[in-house]
Amino acid sequence: MATDAPPPSKTEHHLPSTEEFVEVQESAEFGELRRSYRSFAFPLTAAFITWYLLYVLLSNFAGDFMGTKLFGNINIALLLGIAQFVTTFLIAWWYSRHAAAKLDPKAEAIKSRMEGGA
């Protein structure tokens, strides 16, 4: 009995074997991609966590300092709290630019080779 399976698509990709994945993982090119990611993400993550913990510690143990009015009803705690949000968005924007410029081209080159069977 014949099946009515569609013909293979021209967009089908080569499915890499386990050995090919391991080979790419051990390559210098993949190591460079991983270094590029880590050299950006790890220091920035550590800096942001330190900044966040500083805010929490100041809020818990330096109430008088955090309650210092700067102008009107705006105090240091509010200003630093808003700065937490601003910092989060700036880091996300900066990472997006870094990934587009440094990580994505390297990852796409590796992916193309893997899917092309080269």
Q: Given this model, what pLDDT does residue 45 score?
A: 96
Across the chain, mean pLDDT equals 88
Encoded tokens for 47: 């800096």
Is 11 domain-assigned? Answer: no
Tell whether 83 is covered by a domain: yes
Q: How many helices (H) and strands (E) does the chain have?
A: 5, 2
In Å, what is the CA distance from 51 to each residue of 8, 19, 34, 43?
Answer: 54, 43, 25, 12
The band of 20, judged by pLDDT with boundaries at 50, 70 and 90, is: confident
Asked if residue 1 belongs to a domain, the reply is no
Please tell me the predicted confidence (pLDDT) of residue 10.
Answer: 52
**Which of residues 24 and 4 earns the better pLDDT score?**
24
Tell which residue, 112, 114, 115, has the closest CA to residue 104.
112
What pLDDT score was predicted for residue 9? 54
**Residue 47 domain boundaries:** 18-116
CA dihedral 47→28→30→109, nearest 10 degrees, is: 120
C-alpha–C-alpha distance, residues 21 and 24, integer Å: 5
Domain count, the chain: 1
Instruction: Report pLDDT digits (tens) over 57-101.
Output: 999 999 999 999 999 999 999 999 999 999 999 999 999 999 999
pTM of the model as a whole = 0.75
Q: Is residue 7 part of a domain?
A: no
Residue predicted with more confidence, 3 or 92 = 92
Burial of 33 (0-12, 13-18, 19+ CB in 10 A): buried
Asked, for residue 12, whether it belongs to a domain, the answer is no
* pLDDT tens readout for residues 34-64: 999 999 999 999 999 999 999 999 999 999 9
**Predicted local distance difference test score (pLDDT) of residue 113:** 86
